[in-house]
Each structure stands twice: as C-alpha cells, then as structure tokens.
Amino acid sequence: QWSVNAFLEARSGGIKILNDGDEPEVVVTFDSQMVSVLSAATEKPPDKFCFITWNIDGLDDKNLKKRTKTIARIIERERADIVFLQELVPKTFTYLENLLPQFVFVVGDTRDYFTATLLRRTTVYFDAHNIVPFENTVMGRNLLCVEAHIGDVKLNLLNTHLESTAEHSKERVEQLTLAFTNMKSCLPSSTVIFGGDLNIRDKEMSSVHPPSNFFDLWEACGRRPECRWTWDTERNTNKEMPGRFKPKCRFDRVFLRSAESPLVKPQHFGLLGLEKAPGTQSFPSDHWGIIVHFEIVKRANDSASSQSLSLIRPSTSK
C-alpha cells in the first residue's frame, strides 16, 4: 500500500508501456521524490541484500535485444540490490536503463563496450565513484570503483573486466595486481566487494595472491562444482567451438572483505542465465551470471572478531 501511495504522491515518474517489437513491457519509472517517499516509508534498512555480476556479451548481435530483455527480467526476478555488468554497448545500456529505472547506473565508459554498476534506488545509496584506468590495456579496460551504503553498512564496490585472451596474460595479471592494491586501500570500516569478468586462469591466479582478509566467494560458499565454471562451452552453446574439446573456465569471480561491524556474510553462491532466452536458441550470454546472497549481522562488541571472520573464511573441502 505504501508503494502505491508513494507513486501517487510523486509528481513525476509513473507507469509506461515499453513496446519494442516483442511483447509489451510494463515499466514503473522512479524519480528522486518517489525514492524519498519510499525511503521514509521503510522502517529500517534491510538485513540482507542480493548481488549479481554478469558479462552480458553485448558484442554479439545475435538475438541481442531478446537476450538483454531476459537479463533485465532475471535481475528484477532475483530482486538484486547491486549488479556488476560487463560488456555493455551503447544500445544495450540505453535499453537496460529503460527496462530497469529502479536502478542507478554508474558506468565505466560510454564508448565501444564497457562496465556498469547498478544500485537499487530504494535499498542502496550512491555516495561517490571514480575510474582507475589500466595503463597497460589495449582493450580499453579499467576498474570502476563505487562508494555506496546500505543503512550503516559502508560499501566499496569494485567492478572490472580484465584483459581478454591467452595472449594478454601479462597485462591481465598486472591489472589484477592493481585491483588488489586498490582493495587494500579501502578503509577498514568499509565492506569491499570486488568482482567481474576477470578472464583469469587458475595458473595466473596462483601467481597473484589476494590480501589475506579477502575471500573468493565461490570457495567461501563451499566450492560447489556445479557453480565452478562461469564460461562453459560444453553447457553454453552461444559460442560454437570446433572439435571435440570444449573449454571451460572460471573467468568470473567475486571477492569479499567484510568490515569489522556490521559484518556482511555470504549465505549463498549460485549461477544465473542457465535457460535460453524465450523465443530464441540463445542463452542470455555466453557467460553464466553469478548471484550471491548476503546477510548483514550486527555484533554487540568486537570480542567476537576472530569468531566472526571464521564465518566467511573459505572452505577447505574439495
């Protein structure tokens, strides 16, 4: 009821029908006044939030609009609060802005293809951002750094798309090292989430160690084998690979450093985009998306620090 009241009290914003040649899409538009009313109607900040990172393959024109619409639907279906996207192109960026007006879009560029970080307007509040260029890139890559907050949880959100292909291993490792350096510079009072399409190979990862208090969330959430490969040409047929060998890699990864208090704990790590876009024979992307559910835990004192850190320490099970 308060959502309806908020809509009626907002002087701008509203409901429109998006007709794009596919089935009509109902879009609720937001403005700052509506958001302020919604915020006032909320009794307290959420005690959990949902995070997604996804390379959405905007460089492939095949079924691009239908694939992008499917991605938007999945983001909303999962009620994501924070979304890292890679491989947006100008036309998919504009389309997603129309489909997802309930999000603030912070972009790393607006030319060719680029990254964007999305913040749900009614749960996550934007504070600042900056872009760290990778000086060694030949592909226009950078590190998109966003500061935000959920209630009294301060967030540093680092979204990137590292250099692609095996030939650029040296550049990729240098970029990852720079990203870890930026992670370490974040204030201890802030929760840091770093992720995206790292294009990293396991042998490269072994030469670049994250800071000791940063955890790979696939590992921290139990190393489930069905969630390991995010680029899997055996299961995902968007990219046809000749021959019998079908490569699979864990290109997409997410790292967490939780602040002392409130403590942000991962509860679930899963994959998205495993079903084909309606009306096509294409998956939404050639990458699976990653979804992580987090819980926000407030502690009465700091004496439980070591115990709380054990709650997000990576599992040693294989």
Considering only CA atoms, which of 183, 161, 10, 163 is closest in space to residue 89? 161
DSSP 192-225: EEEEEE----HHHHTTSPPPTT-EEHHHHTT--G
Would you call the peptide bond into 262 cis, given omega within 30 degrees of 0 as the criterion? yes
Strand order in the sheet with 48-55: 103-107, 114-120, 82-88, 48-55, 289-297, 263-272
Tokens of 131: 């872009």
Percentages (nearest 5) of helix, strand, coil residues in the chain = 25, 30, 40
CA distance 158 to 129: 10
Active-site annotation holder among 57, 127, 152, 197: 197
Contacts of 68 (CB under 8 A, 6+ apart): 56, 58, 92, 95, 96, 99, 284
Q: Can you tell me whether residue 32 is helix, strand or coil?
A: helix
109 catalytic per annotation: no
Known catalytic residues are 197
